[in-house]
Structure 1
Amino acid sequence: MTMTKVVGGVCGAFLIYLLGGWVAETLYHVGGGHGEEVAAYVIEVEEGGGGEEEPEQDFETLMASADAGAGERVFGKCRACHKIDGTNATGPHLDGVVGRDVAAVDGFSYSGALSEAADTWSQENLFHFLENPSGFASGTSMSFAGLRDAEDRVNLIAYLDSLDG
């Protein structure tokens, strides 16, 4: 008699499982052969042209239009790790960084990857470094993701360059 109860319980559970699947399928049915189904709303999309990217300007043109005032606002992203008062923080100080030799701040321990990537922090080297630090100097300990906007980068470089006096 106990075995009959166990088999009955298993069969009952299986029946509930099948009925639950059938109910769920009817409640949440998505498409598939039940006549003409019409979308609730349609988003109009233009067929032509779409998604053309702007032609990238060369570095000299971007640098000529750089705004140091806007660069000071961009520097807010750097302020968490870098100082401009001559003292080191998580990162080295950025006083006089434009034109300075790479890894040249006394008292700061660099990762070594920067020296392999460039000799000096020229404006153009800074431009490429700020876009993607780990791409420019693979193995750098700088964890910043970078500045994707080219105008932000040149504005920041102009601001850092203006600090030199």
Structure 2
Amino acid sequence: MSTLVKQALAGLRLLLVLTVVTGVLYPAGVWAVSRLPGLHDNAEAVNTTLVGVAREGDGWFHLRPSAATLPASGGSNKSQVNPDYDRVVADRRTEVARREGVAEDRVPQDAVTASASGLDPHISPAYADLQVPRVARERGLSERWVRKLVAEHTSRRGLGFVGEVTVNVTALNRALTDGG
């Protein structure tokens, strides 16, 4: 048997083995681990605040809108010069202003522009602040106490200048559920 045929057969065997390992065994293993009890409840990842968990109703803080069709993650190809994009953003601004009882010019940008992945749990402090009166009213809590919770779930800039100041909505809503 020639060296070329031996090398081709070795490459083919390696291709088959790697196809089985990376295309069958690994995905099956990930799927099996995801089904273990205690990793998620009601389709919500537990013991993590790294993923945005949207809650329905006015008694919860809302995440940024999502450009993804969950459970998949992925963005939209519409840019800021697309008329459809402008219409969607304007509709979102009107809806948020109505829900929060404020003028449209008070609605922060992150309340109306989508998160590409739909997985980001963070919003701006301005958007969280806008939602405090509604959440407090719906839950029968004082605004002062809800603002304290928001402050506790607000991250600061790394080293004082790296990144943005954000509020983790997943952690904040869990704190509301747990009573603080």
State the TM-score, normalized to the length of structure 2.
Answer: 0.23
Higher helix share: 2
Higher strand share: 2
Of the two, which has the highest radius of gyration? 1
